[in-house]
Amino acid sequence: MATPGRIELDKLSVEQLKGLKEQTDLEVNLLHDSLNKIRTAITRLDSASAALQDLSLRPHGKKMLVPLTASLYVPGSLDDAEKVLVDVGTGYFIEKTMAQGKEYCERKINLLKSNLDELAEVATKKKAIADQMTLLLHTKLRQGSPGPSS
């Protein structure tokens, strides 16, 4: 007996199987894109956390270059290493203490790593289903399903 909501792949026609495989491949690709974006966000937060650590070790009045964009830096000096601005998204910044800033980064990294693990598991299962469909499709085509005539 089939589980409700579950498709019995071997009962699908070649055309239906091809369509379902294309849809599943698209979903797998989207999941992999999401995984890459999460990895990028984790890397950026790791860099931010390391920058906070480095900043906390610098003396008051230390001359430094301050990034305005990814490629534009201006000269500045460290006024107060105990207060930092944390980018919380969509252009909003919150002033936090150094310890709160580090804790924020760590909390976000842990959340993203948890999401990464869950998403990777889903992607692995979807990929296995897509591989199963590929094998079944090849089997059906070899068994003499009508193909284009020459």
Residue 147: the pLDDT is 46
Asked whether the predicted pLDDT for residue 67 surpasses 60, the reply is yes
Residue 150: the pLDDT is 38
Task: Please answer whether residues 53 and 102 qualify as being in contact, where contact means their C-beta atoms are separated by less than 8 angstroms.
Answer: yes
CATH number for the domain running over 28-140: 1.10.287.370
Degrees, nearest 5: CA angle 132-135-136: 85
**Burial of 6: CB neighbours in 10 Å, binned 0-12, 13-18, 19+:** exposed
- In this prediction, residues 41-66 reach a mean pLDDT of 88
Is 0.85 surpassed by the pTM of this model? no
Asked whether the predicted pLDDT for residue 149 surpasses 60, the reply is no
Percent of the chain with pLDDT strictly greater than 70: 91
pLDDT range class, residue 5, cuts 50, 70, 90:
low
Residue 3: the pLDDT is 52
